[in-house]
Amino acid sequence: SCDQMELLAYRGDQKFKYMSLKYFGEPDEDDLKLARYLLSLPSREFDQELIPSEDSIEFIKKEISQYGFNGSVELVRNIPSHALFLPSRNLLRVKSGEQFSEKFVNGLCHHEIGVHMLTTENAKRQSLRVFENGLPLNTLTQEGVAIVSEYYSGSLSIDRLKELALRVVTVSHMLKNYDFKETFSYLVERYGVDTTKAYYLTARIYRGGGFTKDYLYLRGFRKILELVKNDVDISPLLIGKTSVEYFGEIKELIERGILSPPKYITRSLIEKSNKDDEILNYILSEL
């Protein structure tokens, strides 16, 4: 879109932040209230055997083969996050030299393969190419569905929810015109984030000159989870890089035969294997 092209054009310029606000918006008081609630929860992570990222590749390849996708996965060193999906190449990059819990790897499979790669595959089968490039603000829907997929696969943890909440408060802090060092210190001192994690989180938000996108993960999760819990069939959102804002129109176009129903459906949304986690279910009932 024109907005995204402008974002690229203004990287490193002070206008970048304002273009980011124009395209992605900013957290509102509801977003911040939810983030603070999640950050107030006690952690309950258990010691888990860690898997080297080199070994996690086999789990991911198995998930790709279960769906029958043509996607691929590779290990790389030079990415700031644990994993990065490239839709144009249908490629998942995983950071080498890391160690992941089995729960994290399971969540990674259901997030990256079960949603991002899946919607890329479904989009190729549509007559309208717009679903490959993405509808406006598809980030909220894509990431919302992806985190709901983590939840229903039994992979979502309180620490993962806190990570999403930290992105919201970090974006909010950045928008108050604090510099990188001040926001980094805020995360360490106010929320007890370890310095390495605080550095990478601050870098995510300050890249390009101030990138607001990351608050949408938590908002999207809340919005999509509400639909699923109200027994809404969200499979029309899986036809490509869609936006929940156009949910009604997408459903109608499928019903009229103009769009194809999704060939692939996210496995975790069918199986819903998380039902035994009463504590997490209670926490999320408060959303």
pLDDT tens-digit series, residues 89-124? 999 999 999 999 999 999 999 999 999 999 999 999
In a 3-state reduction of DSSP, which class is residue 76? strand
Residue 46 has a pLDDT of 66
User: Mean pLDDT of all residues in the chain?
Assistant: 92
CA distance 52 to 122: 31
CA distance 59 to 71: 14
Residue 37 has a pLDDT of 95
Share of the chain above pLDDT 70, in %: 96
DSSP state of 1: -
Q: Are strands 91-95 and 72-76 parallel, antiparallel or unpaired?
A: parallel
Task: Report the 10 Å Cβ neighbour count for 166.
Answer: 22
Is there a contact between 141 and 261 (Cβ–Cβ < 8 Å)?
A: no
Q: Is the pLDDT of residue 47 over 80?
A: no
Q: Is the pLDDT of residue 80 over 90?
A: no
pLDDT tens-digit series, residues 199-239? 999 999 999 999 999 999 999 999 999 999 999 999 999 99
Q: How confident is the model at residue 276 (pLDDT cuts 50, 70, 90)?
A: low
CA distance 41 to 61: 34
Of 267 and 79, the one with more pLDDT = 267
CA distance 253 to 245: 14
Q: How confident is the model at residue 275 (pLDDT cuts 50, 70, 90)?
A: low
